[in-house]
């Protein structure tokens, strides 16, 4: 039976605040006995629940890493009850490269669970998190945004689950996070996702999409910062009540929510994120990228709703997702 070679450089169950690395041996052309060193902080104080907080699941999404770096630096053991495990840059090689996937093996960490102890670097990370960190957690918060190629309305999300009491706990946690938008999601193709792994272990799980375009703003980081503290209050690790404002509930009922480009070219959006659209009306149009004087090709909305996500780069390829239309819940 292969053992996962990842080892932490700090104790994961000691009291106080400890900052170190998950050390993953990685022999390669430019370092025969090299390692991938994934930063980790653990802050613990007495009895209480354990929260696992992760950013950098995709390496080009920044609200999570920023909010978690700040939390790791400034959260004091005496403020809490229980334990907070923080991985601000879970897929470190992707994060370092500023890419969605790992430049080492191409791995999309969020499609690599439950991982393998003898697999690629990405699979080893997935396996370690799934077998060593998730089991000890009561609640898991995984930060996402659109990355370099998508931009989202800021929302927290929880999944529709077979176990309705688990689902209810997740929905409450999502409400506690209190992003400007909140989404109940039915995951169609959940294979390999961190979400699925955590939920199958029976944990409370919240995920987010807080912006995108390969960056973060003061406003989007503020949502992340408030959300993570709210969640820690909600589960009793921090004392006090979550700070709650209005949230807009969105639904994504079927695959007509997703719009794909049927041609390549220069994309012109005709509406912006949060704008309302009617079925059959154009969301965007695609101009040729190699000539002028010819007609653009329109992308017509496949349903009524609001534009909840869009493509970022000015050029679009055939098959790229150009829009996500969500339906506000009455």
* Residues 164-193 contacting its own copies, CB under 8 A: 189, 191-192
Among 6, 51, 53, 68, binds its own copies (CB under 8 A): 68
CB of 262 to its own copies, least distance (A): 8
Asked if residue 65 binds its own copies (CB under 8 A), the reply is yes
Q: How many residues bind its own copies (CB under 8 A)?
A: 93
Please give the torsion angle defined by the CA atoms of residues 200, 52, 156 and 69, in that order, rounded to the nearest 10 degrees.
-150
CB of 315 to its own copies, least distance (A): 5
Among 164, 245, 246, 272, binds its own copies (CB under 8 A): 272
Measured from the CB atom, the residue of 51 and 176 that comes closer to its own copies is 51
Asked if residue 39 binds its own copies (CB under 8 A), the reply is yes
CB of 295 to its own copies, least distance (A): 7
Asked if residue 213 binds its own copies (CB under 8 A), the reply is yes
Asked if residue 268 binds its own copies (CB under 8 A), the reply is yes
CB of 4 to its own copies, least distance (A): 11
Strands (DSSP E) contained in the chain are 7-8, 16-25, 35-45, 50-54, 82-87, 139-142, 150-152, 155-159, 181-185, 204-209, 248-251, 258-260, 265-269, 276-277, 282-287, 297-300, 305-311, 315-316, 321-328
- The Cα 85–Cα 88 span in angstroms is 10
Among 6, 17, 153, 174, binds its own copies (CB under 8 A): 17
Other C-beta atoms lying within 10 Å of the C-beta of residue 141? 29
Among 11, 16, 34, 202, binds its own copies (CB under 8 A): 34
CA 81 to chain CA centroid, Å, is 26
- The Cα 308–Cα 152 span in angstroms is 6
Among 168, 219, 244, 254, binds its own copies (CB under 8 A): 219
Other C-beta atoms lying within 10 Å of the C-beta of residue 244? 12
Measured from the CB atom, the residue of 19 and 166 that comes closer to its own copies is 19
Asked if residue 162 binds its own copies (CB under 8 A), the reply is no
Is 156 within 8 Å of 227 (Cβ atoms)?
yes
Asked if residue 114 binds its own copies (CB under 8 A), the reply is no
Among 8, 21, 131, 200, binds its own copies (CB under 8 A): 21
Asked if residue 321 binds its own copies (CB under 8 A), the reply is yes
- The Cα 99–Cα 107 span in angstroms is 11
Measured from the CB atom, the residue of 166 and 264 that comes closer to its own copies is 264
Label the pairing between strands 139-142 and 50-54: parallel
């Amino acid at each position: 039976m292969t053992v996962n070679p990842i080892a932490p450089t700090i104790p994961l169950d000691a009291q106080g605040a400890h900052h170190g690395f998950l050390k993953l041996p990685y022999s390669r052309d430019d370092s025969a006995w090299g390692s991938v060193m994934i930063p980790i902080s653990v802050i613990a104080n007495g009895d209480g629940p354990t929260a696992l907080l992760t950013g950098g699941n995709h390496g080009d999404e920044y609200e999570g890493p920023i909010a978690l770096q700040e939390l790791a630096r400034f959260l004091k053991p005496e403020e809490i009850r229980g334990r907070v495990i923080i991985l601000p840059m879970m897929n470190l090689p992707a994060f370092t490269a500023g890419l969605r996937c790992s430049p080492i093996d191409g791995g999309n960490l969020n499609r690599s669970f439950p991982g393998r102890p003898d697999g690629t670097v990405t699979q080893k990370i997935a396996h370690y998190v799934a077998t060593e960190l998730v089991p000890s957690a009561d609640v898991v918060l995984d930060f996402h945004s659109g990355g370099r190629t998508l931009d989202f309305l800021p929302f927290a999300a929880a999944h529709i689950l077979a176990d309705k009491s688990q689902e209810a706990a997740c929905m409450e946690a999502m409400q506690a996070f209190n992003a400007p938008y909140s989404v109940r999601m039915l995951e169609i193709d959940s294979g390999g996702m961190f979400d699925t792994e955590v939920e199958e272990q029976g944990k409370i799980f919240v995920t987010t999409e807080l912006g995108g375009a390969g960056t973060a703003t003061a406003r989007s980081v503020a949502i992340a910062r408030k959300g993570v503290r709210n969640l820690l209050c909600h589960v009793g690790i921090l004392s006090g009540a979550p700070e709650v404002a209005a949230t807009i509930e969105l639904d994504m009922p079927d695959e007509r929510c997703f719009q794909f480009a049927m041609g390549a070219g220069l994309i012109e959006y005709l509406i912006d994120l949060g704008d309302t659209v009617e079925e059959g009306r154009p969301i965007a149009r695609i101009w040729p990228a190699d000539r002028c004087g010819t007609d653009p090709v329109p992308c017509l909305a496949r349903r009524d709703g609001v534009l909840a996500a869009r493509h970022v780069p000015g050029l679009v390829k055939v098959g790229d997702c150009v829009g996500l239309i969500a339906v506000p819940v009455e």
